[in-house]
């Protein structure tokens, strides 16, 4: 009888570890999604020299990751059996989603340097689009020429200001 109790305790522990394992993998998946989203934010940058880390990139990666967490919990709930933990994850994800949304919209903690670090990749995206888009309309082609020239000039100006501010 005693040995059955010990075996039962062992299987309870194993079951708890398995349940915890799902949540640990979920946490790892969330971290990897965030890192992936952060890196993918730079897909539109025309040159690596125009990649700058910024709070806005962080906010956007968080804004994209939070709904993924919600979707995972809601659609794969059968894997995640702890209802209280699931509710906590949902609440934290909704708070994160709202927090990241307002951080972007209100430009939270975006001062001079962070503004420039955000704008350089943004301008580089305009250059990439103009250089790579298959536009045929002559007016659009001319506009793209102007955009590329002005955005390149502004990127250089922003880099110069950023260098001055970081000294």
> pLDDT of 134-146, one tens digit each?
999 999 999 999 9
Backbone angles phi, psi at 111, to 5 degrees: -105, -155
Alpha-carbon distance 122 to 120, whole Å?
5
Contacts of 39 (CB under 8 A, 6+ apart): none
Backbone angles phi, psi at 127, to 5 degrees: -65, -45
Predicted TM-score (pTM) of the model is 0.84
Distances (CA, A) of 119 to 68, 85, 135: 26, 39, 25
Task: State the alpha helices, DSSP H only, in 41-137.
Answer: 55-75, 83-106, 112-132
- Residue 72 near residue 26 (C-beta atoms within 8 A): yes
Residue 15 has pLDDT above 90, yes or no: no
pLDDT value of position 166: 95
Extract the tokens encoding 38.
Answer: 């952060």
Tell me the mean pLDDT in the region 84-91.
96
* Torsion, Cα of 115, 116, 120, 123 (10° steps): 60
Give 9 or 141, the one with higher predicted confidence.
141
């Amino acid at each position: 009888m005693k040995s059955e109790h010990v075996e039962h305790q062992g299987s309870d522990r194993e079951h708890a570890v398995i349940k915890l394992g799902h949540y640990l993998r979920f946490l790892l998946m969330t971290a990897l999604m965030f890192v992936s989203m952060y890196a993918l934010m730079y897909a539109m940058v025309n040159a690596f020299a125009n990649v700058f880390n910024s709070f806005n990139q962080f906010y956007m990666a968080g804004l994209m990751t939070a709904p993924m967490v919600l979707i995972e919990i809601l659609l794969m709930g059968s894997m995640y059996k702890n209802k209280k933990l699931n509710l906590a994850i949902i609440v934290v994800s909704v708070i994160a989603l709202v927090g990241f949304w307002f951080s972007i919209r209100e430009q939270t903690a975006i001062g001079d340097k962070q503004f420039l670090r955000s704008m350089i990749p943004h301008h580089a995206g305009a250059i990439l689009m103009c250089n790579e888009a298959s536009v045929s309309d002559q007016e659009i082609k001319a506009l793209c020429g102007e955009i590329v020239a002005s955005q390149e000039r502004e990127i250089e100006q922003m880099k110069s200001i950023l260098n001055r501010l970081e000294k």
